[in-house]
Structure 1
């Protein structure tokens, strides 16, 4: 069984895998034996978007080794579809995004996903369904490098008025048809493109 992990630092992707994935465009392969993630992060955090690949016979073990020295922040979000087969997106910090946020203390992941969607978009979720995927995003918080693990769930909601949560920097919430996804992809994060690619339309 093939294994692949994607770690995003801004728009740069680090792929840890036991095979060379296709469709990733130009990339740079890194020697896993000499790899130090902290040094790698400092090198790429302000660079132009790039793709790096670490090949390993045991990607799961290597991925755990990479993230073990760092704090992991747990978050959850939703891919929300209405009865008209439209999907919910938010506009924050100049890019299209999906609603998500950090878990409260002792909060269950799916419950947090629903709460964040409802808070950020001012809607009522009818149903939270299956887990869609997990994504990993690395950034700095209070001067420390942290890994954010976001668990994404598919959800259903009625087509209803949307109220963006302005205090979270969300200036717009909007329903989009799958035919609009290419428009979204032109101004979003590679991580969000990964999530969108899993939507069955």
Structure 2
């Protein structure tokens, strides 16, 4: 199954005919992707299930509709098992950014966390998941973000990268996380769910 978000509304491409969250279901081969995107963008739909007979083939077909950009980020824990969050554009988020030319996804993830949060001494523990979302900037883009679980024992206080629009950054404990997950993106909730499964 693949989930792609537009403004937190999912396109779910799946081989299962079981409906997810009561979204309408259509067969992948019977829809026009541009029309689906238009309906999600304009609140005609809150989400849709696209039923596939050949998931990998249809996923490749789906990707041809977009300029696909690679990004990488991290869910970072400290020795107290607190999680590093950033605050940007009125939402809590995890640090991430674009993968540069000839840069590995792992190196990009570490670099972005360092730049956006002002911390060092990062180690990748494992890959958590990949998330997808569509946005509109000089055309229609699909961002594929690779997420890594990391740890750090950097004792310095994190500092937000203000020029990237980040106004707050900090390690959050379990109670704080439960609160801030009410004001984050669906993709970030998915990443956090993957982290919870590692515990």
Q: TM-score, normalised by structure 1?
A: 0.91
1:111-190 alignment, distance < 5 Å? 111-142=107-138, 144-158=139-153, 159-190=155-186
**For 1:9 and 1:199, how far apart are their aligned partners in 2?**
23
Residue deviations 1:161-201 (CA, integer Å, cap 9, x gap): 01000100000001112333321221011111111111134
Q: CA deviation at 1:111?
A: 0.2
Q: Residue 38 and residue 118 in structure 1: after superposition, are their counterparts in 2 closer, same or farther (change >3 A)?
A: same
Q: Residue 31 and residue 111 in structure 1: after superposition, are their counterparts in 2 closer, same or farther (change >3 A)?
A: same
Asked if 1 retains the 8 angstrom alpha-carbon contact of 2:71 and 2:99, the reply is yes
Aligned residues: 196
Q: TM-score, normalised by structure 2?
A: 0.92
**For 1:198 and 1:48, how far apart are their aligned partners in 2?**
30
Q: CA deviation at 1:57?
A: 2.6
SS in 1 for 2:194: coil
SS in 1 for 2:159: coil
Q: Residue 107 and residue 179 in structure 1: after superposition, are their counterparts in 2 closer, same or farther (change >3 A)?
A: same
**For residue 31 of structure 1, what is the aligned residue in structure 2?**
27
Asked if 2 retains the 8 angstrom alpha-carbon contact of 1:31 and 1:54, the reply is yes
Q: CA deviation at 1:48?
A: 7.5
Residue deviations 1:59-96 (CA, integer Å, cap 9, x gap): 22111111113211000000100000000010000000
**For 1:53 and 1:125, how far apart are their aligned partners in 2?**
42
Q: Residue 196 and residue 20 in structure 1: after superposition, are their counterparts in 2 closer, same or farther (change >3 A)?
A: farther
Which structure: greater helix fraction? 2
Residue deviations 1:89-116 (CA, integer Å, cap 9, x gap): 1000000000000011111100000000
**For residue 196 of structure 1, what is the aligned residue in structure 2?**
192
Q: RMSD of aligned C-alpha atoms?
A: 1.7
Which one of the candidate residues 11, 26, 36 is aligned to 2:8?
11
Q: Is residue 95 of structure 1 aligned with residue 91 of structure 2? A: yes
Asked if 2 retains the 8 angstrom alpha-carbon contact of 1:131 and 1:154, the reply is yes
Unaligned runs of 5+ in 2: none
